Structure 1
Amino acid sequence: MVSCAPTHRGHTPVLTHVGGAWKRLSVAAALAFRWDGRRTRFFFHTQPGAYTDRTLIAFLRQLKRHFGRQPVILIWDGLPAHKSRVMLGYLARARQWLSVERLPAYAPDLNPVEPIWGNLKRRELANLCAPDLPALRTPLRRGCARVRHHRDLAFNFLRHAGLGFTHGR
């Protein structure tokens, strides 16, 4: 049981959690931009527990279904599962459609997906005290759907990271 009790101004709220340890819900996400900047897509997948190299490979396979034969450039941070032997083997086999660029270590400000989490925490997840994972999953998916349906948000996250498009002629 989780109870969230309001408090008076100036007093620290106390959250009581009874009945076991907190569970973890992990989210994998990808922002996709066309080379000409005309279209954005936001993909996400939730999973209880942590992502592993194998579950991330499953996410990449789902992305491949969306892009078909189109080449994809994946920009990744330094999560250990992104660099495992199993993942490197998969990436070598996926070379014909997938190329990978790595962000520098400890550079979340360069990752356009990072501001999405802050945006969700300020909106759909603000002051949320979910009693279990299903209660957390619903507002999280609602927030991700909001990001998915607002094209300008994705471009703003890209700009926030200091990234953009250059058009060669």
Structure 2
Amino acid sequence: MKKRAWIVFFDESGVSLLPEVRRTYAPRGRTPALRHRLNWKRAGMAAALGYHAADSGRGPRLCFHLKPGSYDTTSLIEVLEQIKTFYAGEPVVLVWDGLSAHWSRGMRAWVAEQDWLTLERLPAYAPELNPVELLWSAIKTRELANLAGDHLADVADAAERGIRRVCSSEQLP
């Protein structure tokens, strides 16, 4: 049976006030130094990148979520509610990894009540199968590279700039 659904790849990542150290240029003889506050404050990012299974003309759609701290079952259910609105209640086949919050009792009970959502699990140790991993790489090597922000909002703003950059290009998603 052909299912007219969105195939949505989902993943989470984290950012913190500790900079993502990348190669950079500096004048000869001057080693570049990153000065930052040793602070472990973290934010969680989640992204859902969808492709329509039956209508490729609809183009890819990217839904992004950012929050202080990390994700658990409750916060992931809130994100899934936003995804439901984002995809206007159309059928979604959500493809994600084996994170324990993805397959917890609470998550499975919530998903069982959703007629618009079907879950599929990625194989273990296969990040190359999830295109959202490339999104994180694109943001962390450009907008977040060597960023030593004073506040978590600085890092969040840079991540959102990266998402806007990716969304503005037809090639990147």
**TM-score, L = length of structure 1:** 0.79
> Given the alignment, which residue of 31, 35, 43 partners 1:25?
43
Moved over 6 A (4+): none
Query: 1-side partners of 2:70 and 2:153: how far apart?
Result: 16
The amino acid that maps onto 1:13 is A
Q: Does 2:123 correspond to 1:107?
A: no
2:71 equivalent in structure 1: 51
Correspondence 1:150 to 2:169: yes
| 3-state DSSP of counterpart to 1:88 | helix
Select the structure with the greater relative contact order (CA < 8 A; seq sep ≥ 6). 2
Contact in 1 for aligned 2:143/2:162 (Cα 8 Å): yes
Instruction: Decide which structure has greater helix share.
Output: 1
TM superposition shift of 1:68: 2.3
* Map of 1:74 onto structure 2: 94
Change (3 A) 1:7 1:57: farther
The 10-residue stretch of structure 1 (65-74 or 49-58) with the greater mean CA deviation from structure 2: 65-74
Contact 2:34/2:148, CA 8 A, preserved across alignment: no
Q: Is the 8 A contact 1:31 1:40 kept in 2?
A: yes
Gaps of 5+ in 1: 155-169
Using a 3 Å threshold, how does the CA distance of structure 1 residues 61 and 14 change in structure 2: closer, same or farther? closer
- Inter-partner Cα distance in structure 2 for 1:135 and 1:79: 28
Deviation sequence 1:142-169 (CA, Å, 0-9, x none): 1111112222211xxxxxxxxxxxxxxx
**Residues 1:62 and 2:79 are matched in the alignment:** no
Q: How does 1:122-141 map onto structure 2 within 5 Å?
A: 122-141=141-160
Give secondary structure in 2 for the equivalent of 1:47.
strand
- 1:153 & 1:81 partners in 2: Cα distance? 28
How many equivalent pairs are there?
Answer: 148
Q: CA RMSD in A?
A: 2.2
Q: Residues 23 and 7 of structure 1: is their aligned pair in 2 closer, same or farther, counting only changes over 3 Å?
A: farther
